[in-house]
A and B are shown apart, each in its own frame.
Chain A
């Protein structure tokens, strides 16, 4: 613990303005309008926000809390509880490495380690170029293909550390092509 006696004046509260003063952007309004005042619709709203933005933007949660009549702290609690919600913008490719039993015994751990090394990020992190987000999942239900890596909607079965390196290069090239087109 550091010394409690600190110069407070340097940390004095400064009024920052009301973040919610302007009406929500139109796309957000479309979602919130359907559920205004319905406290039981919180999960639905969060799912729709996630679908729309790919993650839960801070301002979106603030407006959602206000329009549903929920304390923001509770909205944040729910949003951080469920794995399916992301509070940071995800990368172009969400790489999900399965850690389920079948994948685990087929050495998914080595695949995960390889991907971490190649991308230079840890679990639930995104590469600085915004290309890859790395996640692990408990089971994808594709045990016959174990070990499995799922990238967005594509499933890569019977993976090895080597194949995962090739997969990343392939994805990178694919993205580069897209940009050119």
Chain B
């Protein structure tokens, strides 16, 4: 500790603290304009000058480290005079138009001008930057208010890593500029708005707040972002029933002040006119028609009629499915789901009472006629824990089936399975904030900067501090710009690289023998399994040079920093001496100084037919190097939706009850049954998402209840999904918009979005956080927990259960539901709403006084010993061949989220990226005669989509990339559903064989084929 005196008070501070930090921490205010606690001090504004005894001149306190015995004065006549002059200079080219300024009341310069009594400049006023730029829908840049504090430039460099802007010019003409002073959209800008967040004046403002009210007129509400699984805290500023703008806040435990473009600017979907506002029922359900020839009365194939009504009659046409309801019938033989144009499905608005009656009757009839297992449900990773809990309880307790699943099946079921097998717990082992302190970060199968932008900020920070970043990915993802090593394997061959890394670690003696001996089991079989997989073998199979694999293994196993010596790439022992010892044996490695390495991975690993095996391989690497159970280490699956972790935790999975208690475990099952006032629960695991679609066509499932999911875009092999959903006797969809799936439903229920309800989300690092309503729910829409509760109540009655069963469904608040969750879920045992204000709690949190568990497996693994698994090498199920020579890989892009129901109704997000595209390597484009920006047809064995071509070397030769957000070009028409991961039942979205051609060539090819036939 260092002791210093500030304004006569003595403080003990940690070494390395600056005087400004010490003062602010102790509530001594020093004026400052260019300082930000998350940025490297720049000392640019000079406002934070302080007097230091023994030093003749004032010092900038932001860059002044606390020395022992330092005596500092923050106020003096000289300082006041200096500060007054500095502020005067600022306002000599900053117009004091505070009366009409949107930042009035929140402007730092205004605050100091007030404090130091500067009403106008004593210098000649001259505007140096009379530039107003409004080139994007997210924020405006008004350079006349810019004071060149450089915070925006630094945040873009140090935190976001986009480097879109820099100070250009010199002297009086210097200004913050994009390259060549072009529009933001042509720069590297990712529109995260972090620059807007840190701007001390009105130079950067969200477009949405211009002229919409001054700071003190706005109401603020903090909640959790409803997009990806990072769980960022967002503060919404509202006026009346309108959101004016959103921003980050410092106390947010995950993200601090920083957000991504979706979190900061993607909230306007909530007030889109397309929102569902009343329950809808298919007209033919109210006035039954004679069944059609195939005996399916409800799969209507009638032609659209003129009086086809959309659900509210007057919706905007901006990508709104309701207008697409008025579609054309899909012609026979067209292997393409009619997502855009579809047969008429005319809905009639009904009362809640009527809608719920129909649902309860239909579901009860199905249960009575076909049995409980004829009903299946899809819960939602975007609904709260409380809602997911109720939904699975509805299926297990009331309907009596385990046929409940949700989209985690499609993203991280292999993580849950694989990490469960290896460690005993299938979730991120370490908190997100740990990443910034890691020495080496290994990212594989994750486009972190686009899918989990705020986590990528942590990665960028770590690299700026000197950490090594190793990226293993077939695509050149944006974070590669910050990477030390980039390994680009052919899609599907990464398994060789992981095994070869393990081989190298063992060969070079970098394994953590003590950890392996004390904490793990199954090592021998694993060791044997990687014996033959040398880096040379891996290089041959994956196309990645063996040297790079060896370097990656060294960096990861030893947790080396980029600024560490001996970075010449040759395999070395820890003491730095070169080695050519290939003796394959464990050596004593006690003396190795080991840094902290962490693995981040996502869908590139899990969405594979061998996803579970890949996850096990990563777990093996972590245990082999002892990189788990400590801060800044671990195996960290980055989860995709706001509450996908929670939906899994709540047991919205066919094989487990809340808290991952297997349904096959009689004791645990009966304990839950007892809490629900039942004798027992169904013991047979239910069916998974993709299996549900097969089961419907096999006639086993007759009715489905879908809460907030859109399988009509998200599931593999969409043509097949559509067939299945149309074959259902009864389909209920509960959503905020008329999604592609809702259009096939018999009853559509309007739900409240995450901005309109309360409850809890569990983010990817297992942190349970409170969600609070920002807006009132539109029309008659209700929070999902209320809807599920009412369905439960009615259904109990229709099924003829006891009256108290129905009464038990009358939940009064989400707080009461959470208390029930705590009773049946051991890992949530101590989690109650009243404990969640502030930073939330990280499960496992078994008791009311438990502080939560940010890092898993510290002293022992959840399953006791960590288990090594010998993993066989399996390649993707569908390999390219002569007809389908290319590999298709799918994923997300920054500006859209999943099936686009929300983001495509956000004006700004849709402005930035309004159509789908295929990334094609220049060589493949040339071969297929495709033009950059031109159209293309992508065809697989299952279907065809038409999309735009973007020729880029982000993808390797032989691979094309499609994002799955677009209903006009649904990538999942192409993906395969025949080979699932045998354990996790996850489909292989990441690899399938396709061909790409220009529409012209395809037409000519067809003609030629036709001529031959004729």
Residues of A that sit less than 8 Å from B by CB: 1-2, 4, 6, 8-9, 11-13, 15-18, 21, 58, 61-62, 71-77, 80-83, 87
Q: Which 9 A-B pairs have the closest CB atoms?
A: A71-B163, A77-B166, A4-B210, A73-B166, A80-B168, A17-B932, A72-B179, A76-B179, A80-B169
User: Which chain B residues in 166-185 approach chain A with CB under 8 Å?
Assistant: 166-170, 177-180, 185
Contact B913 A71 (CB under 8 A): no
Q: Is B950 in contact with A18, judged by CB distance below 8 angstroms?
A: yes
Known: A15-B933, A73-B178, A81-B169. A21 touches B922 (CB 8 A): yes
**With an 8 A cutoff between CB atoms, is B912 at the interface?**
yes
CB–CB B163/A76 < 8 A: no
Asked if A6 and B134 make an inter-chain contact with CB atoms under 8 angstroms apart, the answer reads: yes
How far apart are B6's CB and chain A's nearest CB, in angstroms?
36
Q: How long is the Cα–Cα vector from A8 to B906 in the complex, in angstroms?
A: 12
In the assembled complex, B137 has its CB within 8 A of some CB on chain A:
yes
Judging by beta carbons under 8 Å apart, are B177 and A76 in contact?
Answer: yes
* Known A21-B922, A73-B178, A80-B170; contact A13-B914, beta-carbon cutoff 8 A: yes
State in angstroms the CA–CA spacing of A81 and B168 once bound together: 6
Pair B132/A12 contact, Cβ less than 8 Å? no
Q: Does B917 contact A (CB under 8 A)?
A: yes
Query: A15 contacts which chain B residues (CB < 8 A)?
Result: 917, 933, 948, 950
Interface presence of B422 (CB below 8 A):
no
A and B contact pairs by CB, cutoff 8 A, 25 listed: A1-B132, A2-B132, A2-B134, A4-B134, A4-B140, A8-B137, A8-B907, A9-B911, A11-B135, A11-B137, A13-B911, A15-B950, A17-B932, A18-B952, A21-B922, A21-B932, A58-B180, A73-B179, A74-B163, A76-B166, A76-B177, A77-B166, A77-B167, A81-B168, A83-B170
Residues of chain A within 8 A (CB-CB) of B950 are 15, 18
> A21 and B951: CB pair below 8 A?
yes
Say whether B168 contacts A72, CB under 8 Å. no
**Chain B residues within an 8 Å CB radius of A75:** 179
The size class of the interface chain B forms with chain A is 35 or more
| B529 close to chain A: CB less than 8 A | no
- Complex alpha-carbon distance, A1 and B140, angstroms: 10
Which of chain A's residues has its CB closest to B100's CB? A1
| Minimum C-beta distance from B196 to chain A (A) | 14
Inter-chain CA distance A82–B167, complex, in Å, is: 13
Instruction: Tell me the smallest distance from the CB of B138 to a CB of chain A, in Å.
Output: 10
With a cutoff of 8 Å between Cβ atoms, the chain A residues found around residue B948 in the complex are 15
Q: Is B188 an interface residue (CB 8 A)?
A: yes
Which of A16, A76, A81 sits near B170, CB closer than 8 Å?
A81
* B166 and A71 form a contact (CB under 8 A): yes
Majority secondary structure, B binding face: mixed
Contact B168 A4 (CB under 8 A): no
CB of B55 within 8 A of chain A?
Answer: no
Asked if B932 contacts A18 (CB within 8 A), the reply is yes
The residues of A that contact B207 with a CB separation of less than 8 Å are 4
Starting from the known contacts A15-B917, A75-B179, A80-B168, 4 additional A-B residue pairs (CB-CB under 8 Å) come to: A21-B951, A77-B166, A81-B168, A87-B180
Nearest to A75 among chain B residues (CB) is B179
Residue on B nearest A17 in the bound complex, by CB: B932
- Decide if B142 is an interface residue (CB 8 Å cutoff): yes
Task: Indicate if B689 sits at the interface (CB-CB under 8 A).
Answer: no
Q: How far is the CA of A61 from the CA of B185 in the complex (A)?
A: 18
Complex Cα gap A118–B134 (Å)? 38
Least Cβ distance of B663 to chain A in Å? 49
Q: Which residues from 306 to 344 on chain B have a C-beta closer than 8 Å to any C-beta of chain A?
A: none
A1 touches which of B142, B164, B913 (Cβ 8 Å)? B142
* B834 located at the interface, meaning its Cβ lies under 8 Å from any Cβ of chain A in the complex: no
Q: Does B27 make an interface contact (CB < 8 A)? A: no
Q: How far is the CB of A164 from chain B (nearest CB, A)?
A: 27
A8: which B residues are within 8 A, CB to CB? 137, 907-908, 911
> In the complex the two chains form, what is the Cα distance from A13 to B950 in whole Å?
15
Chain A residue numbers with a CB within 8 Å of B957 are: none
Whether A12 contacts B179 in the complex (CB less than 8 A), given A4-B210, A21-B952, comes out as: no
The residues in B between 733 and 750 inclusive whose CB is less than 8 angstroms from any CB of A are none
Which B650-688 residues sit within 8 Å CB-CB of chain A?
none
B187 at the interface (CB under 8 A from A): yes
Number of A-B contacts (CB under 8 A): 86
* Interchain CA distance A47-B911 in the complex, whole Å: 39
Q: Is B603 an interface residue (CB 8 A)?
A: no
User: Which B residues are in CB contact (< 8 Å) with A18?
Assistant: 932, 950-952
Task: Output the least CB separation between B998 and chain A (Å).
Answer: 16
Interface presence of B511 (CB below 8 A)? no
Give complex CA distance A87, B134 in Å: 24
B210 touches A74 (CB 8 A): no
Within 8 A of A (CB), among B128-182: 132, 134-135, 137, 140, 142, 157, 163-170, 177-180
For residue B289, which residues in chain A have a CB less than 8 angstroms away from its CB?
A: none
CB-defined contacts of A77 to chain B, threshold 8 Å = 166-168, 177
Residues in A neighbouring B179, C-beta threshold 8 A:
61-62, 72-73, 75-76
A-chain residues with CB within 8 Å of residue B165 when the two chains form the complex: 73
Given the complex of chains A and B, what is the CA–CA distance between A61 and B180 in angstroms?
A: 10
Give CA–CA (A74, B165) in the complex, Å: 8
CB distance from A53 to the nearest CB of B (A): 16
A15 to B893, CA, bound (A): 15
Contacts of A73 in B (CB 8 A): 163-166, 177-179, 187-188
B187 closest partner in A (C-beta): A73
Please report the C-alpha to C-alpha distance between residue A73 and residue B169 in the assembled complex, in whole angstroms: 12
Report A126 CB to chain B, min CB distance, Å: 18
Distance, CA A2 to CA B165, complexed state (A): 24
Q: Which residues of A contact B951 (CB under 8 A)?
A: 17-18, 21
Task: Decide if B169 touches A13 in the complex (CB within 8 Å).
Answer: no
B178: chain A residues within 8 A (beta carbon): 73, 76
Q: Which chain A residue lies CB-closest to B913?
A: A13
B188→A71 contact, CB < 8 A: yes
| CB of A123 to closest CB in B, whole Å | 12
Docked pose: A119 CA to B735 CA in angstroms: 69
Which of A13, A81, A87 counts the most chain B CB atoms within 10 A?
A13
Nearest chain-B residue to A22 (Cβ)? B922
The docked-state distance in angstroms from the alpha carbon of A71 to that of B187 is 10
**Residues B911 and A11 in contact, CB atoms below 8 Å apart:** yes
Complex contacts, A83 vs chain B, CB 8 Å: 170
Query: Which listed residue (B164, B185, B952) contacts A13, Cβ 8 A?
Result: B185
In the assembled complex, the Cα of A6 lies from the Cα of B140 at a distance in Å of: 12
Distance A7 CA – B1011 CA, assembled complex (angstroms)? 50
- Shortest B538–chain A CB gap in Å is 25
- Tell me, rounded to whole Å, the shortest Cβ–Cβ distance linking B949 to chain A: 10
Contacts of A11 in B (CB 8 A): 135, 137, 911
Give the residues in chain A near B140, CB-CB below 8 Å: 4
In the complex, what's the smallest C-beta–C-beta distance from B647 to chain A, in angstroms?
34
> In the bound complex, how far is the Cα of B857 from the Cα of A71, in angstroms?
40
A76 contacts which chain B residues (CB < 8 A)? 166, 168, 177-180
Query: CA of A8 to CA of B185 in the docked complex: distance in angstroms?
Result: 14
Chain B residues 233 to 282 lying within 8 A of chain A, measured CB to CB, are none
Cα–Cα distance between A75 and B177 once the two chains are bound (Å):
12
Among A12, A16, A77, A81, find the residue whose CB has the most chain B CB atoms closer than 10 A: A77
Report how far A127 CA is from B907 CA in the complex, Å.
Answer: 44
Nearest neighbor of B202 in chain A, beta-carbon distance = A1
Cβ of A14 to closest chain B Cβ, rounded Å: 9
Q: Is there contact, CB below 8 Å, between A4 and B211?
A: yes
Complex alpha-carbon distance, A25 and B914, angstroms: 33
- Rounded to whole angstroms, the CA-CA distance of A2 and B135 in the bound complex is 13
- Which positions 902-931 of chain B face chain A at CB distance < 8 Å? 907-908, 911-914, 917, 922
A73 to B188, alpha carbons, bound, how many Å? 8
**How far is A75 from B165 in the complex, measured between Cα atoms in Å?**
11
Expressed in whole angstroms, the Cα–Cα distance for A23 and B833 within the complex equals: 58
Instruction: Find chain A residues with CB under 8 A from B166 CB.
Output: 71, 73-74, 76-77
Q: Which residues of B contact A13 (CB under 8 A)?
A: 185, 911-914
Which residues does chain B contribute within 8 Å of A62, judged by CB atoms?
A: 179
Q: Complex: how many Å from CA A16 to CA B952?
A: 13
Give the residues from 935 to 959 in chain B that come closer than 8 angstroms, CB to CB, to chain A: 948, 950-952
Report Cα–Cα, A1/B167, bound state, in Å. 23
In the bound complex, CA of A72 to CA of B178 (Å): 9
